[in-house]
Amino acid sequence: MSPTEDTALPASIYAPIWALLRRGASFLGRHARALTIANIFAQGGIIVTGAAVRLTGSGLGCSTWPQCEPGQFAPEPFGASSLHPYIEFGNRTITGLLMIITLALAIAIWNTRRELRWWGLVPLLGVVGQAILGGITVLTHLNPVIVAPHLLLSTALVWQAVWLALTYRNAPRREGKCIKGPLRASLLLLGGLLVLGTLTTGAGPHSGDAEATQRLGLDPTEVARAHALVVWAFIGILAIIIWRVRGDRSEGDRDEVRKAWIVLAAVTLAQGAIGYIQYFTGLPEIIVGLHLAGAATLTGAHSAAYYLLKRDRNKVLAAR
């Protein structure tokens, strides 16, 4: 065998593999927009399933991590076993599905939108961080100091998922006067109400497991009141934004700008109503679950409004 043939042999072996990888990347690139939508629903869904784990007392249904029990990856049925291990393991399984979606999304964006490559990696890195935080949460027996960042990271990933989907398809933004200040204020207030919401939950009765009684050393009533004050401030700044943009439009027939602030206003009012209902009815599990689902919906609605109500920087520069 000649030296030329010897060096050509590895190429002949790896060429079909590289061709298959390229075809796979091309396939994902053609479905990148669909993957951005799947990412939104999956990121929001993990909040809902996490709430189910917490509110059914299944937080320690699997006693360790990454295995469910020492020596076994998945829960095994026993005569008197409860559903708690399956609920907890189901949440872990959905996290694995989310990791697949975000990996596919990262590959798709990397191959189709060069300027968004690094933003496309954020969901994947966030899910890896979530898995690690989830493991620490179990190993620390649902310490509320760990559970709170676990939820906050999920809401941040929902916000980024909606922003990424709109940015990827270059959704038409608002045409009108600058409202940068109120928009930034709304973002800060959203962060504040989410943080205070997690603190309220961390100080409340729903620890996620009957044996995990450790709670934050805060007065739940006082934290809930502070949370409500920030919600009212958020509603106030939202009213200012709506007044400023009420006559503005976006390009195209869909007029997504008007839809964005209408949806955000409706979700905000509904979420506020659910919050007061759960407070005055003693925090029933089903209402708390709805409130957590509402938190994911509110975060996504705000992200859409934040993107669509900002003016297009390129058009502003071109008009000068």
Encode pLDDT of 103-158 as tens digits: 999 999 999 998 999 999 999 999 999 889 888 888 887 778 888 888 899 999 99
User: What is residue 1's predicted lDDT score, i.e. its pLDDT?
Assistant: 47
The two structure tokens encoding residue 274: 């659910």
pLDDT of residue 123: 96
Dihedral (CA of 313, 311, 40, 134) sign: positive
Is the model's pLDDT at 12 over the cut of 70? no
pLDDT at 282: 85
Contact partners, residue 274, CB within 8 Å, separation at least 6: 287, 290, 291, 294
Phi–psi pair at 101, nearest 5 degrees: -60, -45
- pTM higher than 0.85: yes
Whole-Å CA distances, 120 to 19, 34, 68, 296, 314: 23, 14, 31, 20, 22
Query: With 90 as the cut, is the pLDDT of residue 51 above it?
Result: no
The reported pLDDT for the residue numbered 166 is 95
pLDDT tens per residue across span 299-314: 999 999 999 998 776 5
- Domain regions of the chain by residue span: 32-319
Contacts of 136 (CB under 8 A, 6+ apart): 146
Residue 82 in tokens? 């409860």
HEC string of 82-137? CCHHHHHHHHHHHHHHHHHHHHHHHHHHHHHCHHHHHHHHHHHHHHHHHHHHHHHH
Euclidean distance between the first and final Cα of the chain, in Å? 68
Quote the CA–CA distance of 74 and 60 in Å, as a whole number.
Answer: 14
